[in-house]
Structure 1
Amino acid sequence: MGANIHAGDATEVGAVNLRLATMQDLDALESIELSCFENDRLSRRRMSYWIKAEHGILVLAEKADEIVGYGLVILRKGSRSARLYSLAVLAKARGQNIAPALLMKLEELALNEQRLFMRLEVAEDNPAAIKMYKKLGYRKFGIYRQYYETGADALRFQKPIQQTNMANTMKYYPWYKQTTEFTCGPSALMMAMKYLQKNTRFDQATEIDIWRHATTIFMTSGHGGCHPLGLALAGHERGFEVEVYSTQVNNLFVDGVRSEHKKSIMRIVEQDFIEQAKEAGIRVHKNEIQLAQIEKALAKGFGIICLISTYQFDGKKTPHWVAITHADDRCLYLHDPDGGEGFYNETGTRLDRNNQSDAGESEDIDLDYQHLPILKEDFASLSVFGKSKLRTCLVIKPGK
């Protein structure tokens, strides 16, 4: 669907009451729909359905005891995203900030339902609505061609509502965008070190130097990724105290490598990391870190980086290092150094740029990779990699 928004909807709001719709509101809802839309209307029957549906949120805006607008959000089962399906305000009530108030209320209610992202479609020829969505923090990530009955295209927007909700309460945490496809580990480590020590170098030379110290030499294809012990040694060499939590330290990434020659070299590198870590006195816990330990470390101001699988992001089982920046009652928050195109799939997770061929130009996309919210209940499935179900995290502390 879309939004019936006009240029005057971004001014001061008066006394407006926002509440959930009931069956007694059907006449008013039908009247608003007929008044606001010429095409793609919701029928009275569909309005009735969404009032009663458990996977829908239908909010009304009342002013002086008159219903002047509504917003409808759909909650897809199994998804962490919500979808704004329709938003409408009567002509006589425009210019009073009612549409933004409705949308912010819907975001709040969606967040209560454990949704982390809000998505919507808006007609390409509706600049007033587009301006409002951008002002409220939505970013364009794609387009549906000839989406509306009129033949108009629909721009697709998304907002990380949990991330936005927490942004003002989080401490500053530096974010670094990796400059190659294989240096997520060094980039995540650099973010944690910079958080602990402001004069930590934040440049490509440091990124590549850390990778040279920590690389496994080979991966499934191309350049090798970074071993947790290799990253721990790189942090140790730079004056930090590093603890490693890993369910295994041998044969971490060899399953995805076919060549026995490459596997033998990776094992040699790995054994060298083990011996160096022992000589350096790096504490290695051969078990996974618990959520309570992560939260305790964050509360003490330590840096944490974690290996995840990108399967939930791009459908590919690739190991990827991220920094954990913050925790609250609901979520862990990640700094993702990838910084690609910022596109998302239907479940609200980010897509590889090659998987979104029809995406529009993205704007301010770096923000989409900072303090990325992950529900605690989802973290266990995100932070496991490979057939061996590897789980590994590094806790970085200031050096003594």
Structure 2
Amino acid sequence: MKPVIIRAAIANDLEQLDQLEQTCFYTDRLTKRRLKHWIKANNGIFLVASIENKIQGYALLILHKGSVLARLYSIAVSPDARGLGIATQLLNAIETAASELSKLYIRLEVAQLNKAAIQLYQTLGYKVFDIYPDYYEDHQDALRMQKRLIYKPQNLNTPFVPWYQQTTEFTCGPAACMMAMAAINPKIELGQAQELDIWREATTIYMTSGHGGCHPIGLALAVKKRGFHCELYLNQKQTLFLDGVRNEHKRQIMATVDEQFRLQADKNKLAIHQQVATHEQLQHFLEQGKMLVILISSYRFDGKKAPHWVTISGADDKCFYLHDPDPQDDEINHLACQYLPISKQDFAKMTVFGKGKLRSVLVISR
């Protein structure tokens, strides 16, 4: 039997890859343009399997920036080469490559009726953790499967957290709070009206550019107003988010808003702890059934040093898990924004914002 060569896809493979795509799939095909994109992209691993210089299969893994998660986006094997173990070789190679890039998890979607593929994934250690209805163009449901590459899965011991996508570029804070509140009380409405109401209550009015983001105290007050207990860990007393705001008039307005939020916090007896919440404390809060909304720097997600609010949806011995309300890439859809695993080492770097090293966490409970 001729040897199977597993290697990285190159530009000269494009025609063969396009032909293979047309042969293997009737719906949900990658276009020739997208295949060309992924051959060149630096946020993916694109491997091909060739026999005597003819491509008989490929596997494409998308790397989620700032995360230990990777997603198997597509895998294909020519009908003429099935039974040779090519899919297994591609998956083993892609897992090795992902591990070398410090990825701990691979997720994938597979048609619920594709029994052969499901059996292969299960044989290689992938576990079903969810079903996504009407996922494919032909309206088939998809099983969501995951494999942890390095260590055994742990029980997160946290309630189900629904995912909500922010509807504007400046409402990550309200979206994160809504997910946290809905995890505690499923009757909480997840919709734009409430999202914008919370933003109006919590906005700092100005940011470095665009609409104002949300102040930690403003978010905490909005959560408390909606009938939840909320405590705030905030390590700074000075006016927040002034880094990068050069206009003195805007700075003065932001200082006024900051002062008003602190006065409202006193009036409403909002508990503000002027300290950094440790990883041990965060994990303890989650074990108590409390939900956490935390401020991060988006730099590790999108290369922009912007404040961004996310929900902490779980923790185990190696990672914190996030619900991110803002998918940064159309190829990395909302499925990859739920229970997004972040190693605790990366999490520590991610949860510091600005020159003043701002840290803030909302602890929400019944």
TM-score, scaled to structure 1: 0.61
Q: Residues 341 and 394 from structure 1, CA distance in 2 versus in 1: closer, same or farther, beyond 3 angstroms?
A: same
Q: Residues 112 and 311 from structure 1, CA distance in 2 versus in 1: closer, same or farther, beyond 3 angstroms?
A: closer
Question: Is the Cα contact below 8 Å between 2:58 and 2:90 reproduced in 1?
Answer: no
- Give the 3-state SS of the residue equivalent to 1:378 in structure 2: helix
- TM-superposed CA distance for 1:81, in Å, is 7.7
**In structure 2, what is the equivalent of residue 221 of structure 1?**
209
State yes or no: 1:394 paired with 2:362: yes
**Which one of the candidate residues 296, 302, 305 is aligned to 1:314?**
302
Q: Residues 311 and 70 from structure 1, CA distance in 2 versus in 1: closer, same or farther, beyond 3 angstroms?
A: closer
Q: Residues 226 and 90 from structure 1, CA distance in 2 versus in 1: closer, same or farther, beyond 3 angstroms?
A: closer
State yes or no: 1:175 paired with 2:156: no
Q: Tell me which amino acid in the other structure corresponds to 2:349.
A: S
Dislocated runs of 4+, deviation >2 Å: 1-8, 33-39, 78-84, 87-96, 98-114, 116-119, 159-163, 165-172, 339-342
CA distance in 1, matches of 2:328, 2:99: 29
CA distance in 2, matches of 1:38, 1:111: 25
- TM-superposed CA distance for 1:260, in Å, is 0.9
- Percent identity of the aligned residues? 46
- Give the 3-state SS of the residue equivalent to 1:256 in structure 2: coil
CA distance in 2, matches of 1:100, 1:308: 38
State yes or no: 1:328 paired with 2:316: yes
**In structure 1, what is the equivalent of residue 88 of structure 2?**
101
- TM-superposed CA distance for 1:79, in Å, is 9.8
**Which one of the candidate residues 32, 35, 38 is aligned to 2:51?**
35
CA distance in 1, matches of 2:204, 2:359: 17
**Which one of the candidate residues 367, 372, 382 is aligned to 2:340?**
372
- TM-superposed CA distance for 1:34, in Å, is 7.6
**Which one of the candidate residues 199, 203, 207 is aligned to 1:211?**
199
CA distance in 1, matches of 2:98, 2:198: 39
TM-score, scaled to structure 2: 0.66
Instruction: Name which of structure 1's ranges 316-325 and 253-262 shifts more when overlaid on structure 2.
Output: 253-262
**CA offset digits 1:70-96 (Å, max 9, x no partner):** 99x9x9xx9968899xx9999997237
CA distance in 1, matches of 2:290, 2:71: 37
Question: Is the Cα contact below 8 Å between 1:162 and 1:373 reproduced in 2?
Answer: no
CA distance in 2, matches of 1:192, 1:83: 25
**In structure 2, what is the equivalent of residue 348 of structure 1?**
none
- Give the 3-state SS of the residue equivalent to 1:339 in structure 2: coil
- TM-superposed CA distance for 1:366, in Å, is 1.3
Question: Is the Cα contact below 8 Å between 1:107 and 1:118 reproduced in 2?
Answer: no
Number of matched residues?
287
- Give the 3-state SS of the residue equivalent to 2:243 in structure 1: helix
**In structure 2, what is the equivalent of residue 301 of structure 1?**
289
- Larger radius of gyration, structure 1 or 2? 1
**CA offset digits 1:9-60 (Å, max 9, x no partner):** xxxxxxxxxxxxxxxxxxxxxxxx8834248xxxxxxxxxxxxxxxxxxxxx
Q: Residues 275 and 112 from structure 1, CA distance in 2 versus in 1: closer, same or farther, beyond 3 angstroms?
A: same
- Give the 3-state SS of the residue equivalent to 1:172 in structure 2: coil
Question: Is the Cα contact below 8 Å between 1:36 and 1:90 reproduced in 2?
Answer: no
In structure 1, stretches of 5+ residues that fail to align are 9-32, 40-68, 120-131, 138-158, 343-361
**In structure 1, what is the equivalent of residue 137 of structure 2?**
none
In structure 2, stretches of 5+ residues that fail to align are 1-7, 25-48, 108-116, 127-144
**Which one of the candidate residues 177, 186, 190 is aligned to 1:198?**
186
CA distance in 2, matches of 1:82, 1:234: 35
Question: Is the Cα contact below 8 Å between 2:76 and 2:87 reproduced in 1?
Answer: no
Question: Is the Cα contact below 8 Å between 1:310 and 1:319 reproduced in 2?
Answer: yes
